[in-house]
Amino acid sequence: MKAYQIYHKKKAELDREFSQIPSETTYLILDNDIVTDQFPNYNELVECFSTLSNLTNLTHLRLVGARYLDELSGEELANVFGLLPQNLTHLDLSFNNFKRFSGEELSNIFASLPKNLTHLDLNHTKFDNLNREELSNAFSKLPPSLSHLSLEVWGENTRERTLEKFTSLFAAIPKSVSHLSLSECIWHPLSLKEWAQCCQAIPENVTSIDLSNTHLDRINSKYLINLESSLPHVNTVYLSIDEIKSISQEGRGKLGMMFPNAKNIVFLDSANKEIETPAYYKEQILAHELPGQQEHQQELEHQQELEHQQELEHQQELEHQQELEHQQELEHQQELEHQQELEHQQELEHQQELGRQQELERQQELERQQELERQKSQQRESKINNTTKKIDSIITELACKIDRVDHHTYKKAHEAATTLLTNLIAARNVYEDNLRANNIPHEETENQFKFTCKKAINDAKPVLEKDLGWGDYLKNLVKSLANAVITFATLGSRHSIFSYARPQSVKAVEKAAEYLEINQQNTLS
């Protein structure tokens, strides 16, 4: 297998790096660390991934923890995956965040995968936000050629959520899948009976299953019976040899009852490599032996263990000799790998710190913008209140002035003044409503208010000037109202633009509406 990896490149170099991938490459690694500075955007990724269609020998692609895909929408990610070569058979998408996608988006993403895909790794891709129906619809869009699926998942905080999560996910497994890897799944906090319930949700087309590194050795052997017949359709099981060695003979027999129709047990070492073991381990699991059933079997197993030990010692001697011959070369290689791993870890930490800093700056900018908006809103509210208070003070003074008019002697003038007061209050209310709605230009609102006030004053002026001698007062009234509006438009300026005819101080009196009501009652009396 010819492997190639794009690693620690500048964003500006990606186009050239993708175009220079050797045509004979069969295994391509495009993990999270392909770039060291800014992640490429959607159009740049499309340009890079479009070059992969030329790799006719490419069968394996690894996109582990590819954070440079996190900014893509569901539609954009589906488009990028649609550019992958159709000759691809193995795809590793582990440690990618699919939790942000809806059920429809995930369906489109799965539908865009290469049609000849046989192996798909979805470990730690997180589908917690989707319900059973959405998962089923999404998984049904996976390529029909898919036969091997990896789903490493962890339990939730509660048993109810964990049970629903596992059963929904397992029930969604496509009918084409025959091998399911649940290696390193964390079943906590489920009971063994609930664990069995989850396993029963796995469809019958799954005939091979990997249960390595699932902490089987931490389960009390006498309770393993609760898993009985939870995987009756499985005929091949992958288990960790270290875990099996830690389980008693009784426990091995009860564990075997979990898959009563299994014909083959494959043991894996700590590196997940197949390993040859004494035959009696398999026999104990497949025979479902319990204590007291075959006492003679224990003696036979002991003898087999001795023979195996002798063979193992002989093999170890040969391996030791080979190890001595190559020790220097291996030590040098290990040193190089250690240095590369150290550099990779440092770069990863740098990227993580950079990401945290960028997120902090984004949050601070958002809070600053929100504070500015809040201050602007408060300032506008304060200006509106100040303006309406000045208008209210002017209207209240008018109400007081009307209240001092003898409505019996000057009945017509009193009625004209009362009508003027009513019209000015109405104009004031409309002006305030328009300011708060803020959907009309301020200049237009101001002109409308001044026009309405001036018209109301001019309508009342002939009678009030003739009967009460209010000519100068009415002129000042027009200017006072105009100055109050101009104060709002000029951000609270304290200086009036218009000068008054008489230099009198205006005494503000509250509750103009109450004066109007009193005047109307006096008129009626």
Asked whether residue 327 falls in the same domain as residue 386, the answer is no
Q: Could you list the residue range(s) of the whole structural domain that residue 308 is in? A: 294-353
> Quick one: pLDDT at residue 120?
98
pLDDT of residue 492: 42
Residue 83 lies in a domain: no
Q: Which pLDDT value is given to residue 507?
A: 36
Decide if 203 is inside a domain. Answer: no
Are 323 and 443 within one domain? no
Q: Is residue 230 assigned to a domain?
A: no
The domain boundary residue, chosen from 333, 353, 373: 353
Rounded Cα distance, 7 and 13, in Å: 11
Does 310 share its domain with 403? no
Looking at the fold, whether 327 and 419 belong to one and the same domain comes out as: no
> Do the domain assignments include residue 518?
yes
- How far, in Å, CA of 469 to CA of 256, rounded? 112
Amino acid type, 299: E
pLDDT value for 323: 84
Tell me the pLDDT tens digit for each residue of 400-427: 999 999 888 999 999 999 999 999 999 9
CA distance 158 to 165: 11
Quick one: pLDDT at residue 155?
64
Last residue in a domain, options 307, 333, 353 = 353
d(Cα 274, Cα 262) in Å, to the nearest integer?
Answer: 18
Residues of the chain with pLDDT under 50: 289-297, 491-521, 523-525
Please classify residue 255 by burial: count the beta carbons closer than 10 Å to its beta carbon, then call 0-12 exposed, 13-18 middle and 19+ buried: buried
Tell me which of 338, 353, 368 is where a domain ends: 353
- Do residues 436 and 504 both lie within one domain? yes
Q: What is the 3-state secondary structure (H, E, C) of 16-66?
A: HHHHCCCCCCCEEECCHHHECCCCCCHHHHHHHHHHHHHCCCCCEEECCCC
Q: Confirm whether 510 is domain-assigned.
A: yes
Looking at the structure, tell me whether residues 425 and 345 fall in a common domain. Answer: no
Residue 326 sits in the same domain as residue 391: no
Tell me how many domains the chain contains: 2
Tell me whether residue 165 is in a domain. Answer: no
Distance of CA 162 to the CA centre of its chain: 20
Q: Are residues 319 and 406 in the same domain?
A: no
- Please tell me the predicted confidence (pLDDT) of residue 127: 79
* pLDDT value of residue 300: 52
Amino acid letter for position 233 = H
Q: How many CB atoms lie within 10 A of CB 220?
A: 8
Nearest to 235 by CA among 252, 259, 257: 259
How far apart CA 10 and CA 17 sit, in angstroms, is 10
Whether residue 157 is contained in a domain is answered as: no
What's at 243, amino acid-wise? E
Interior/surface letters 349-369, b for 16+ CB within 10 angstroms, e for the rest: eebeeeeeeeeeeeeeeeeee
Residues 332 and 423 placed together within one structural domain of the fold: no
Mark whether 453 and 499 lie in a shared domain. Answer: yes
Q: Report yes or no on 396 lying in a domain.
A: yes
Rounded Cα distance between 206 and 149, Å, is 10
* Distance separating alpha carbons of residues 471 and 29, to the nearest angstrom: 90
Same domain, 341 and 470: no
pLDDT value of position 303: 66
Q: Are residues 395 and 519 in the same domain?
A: yes
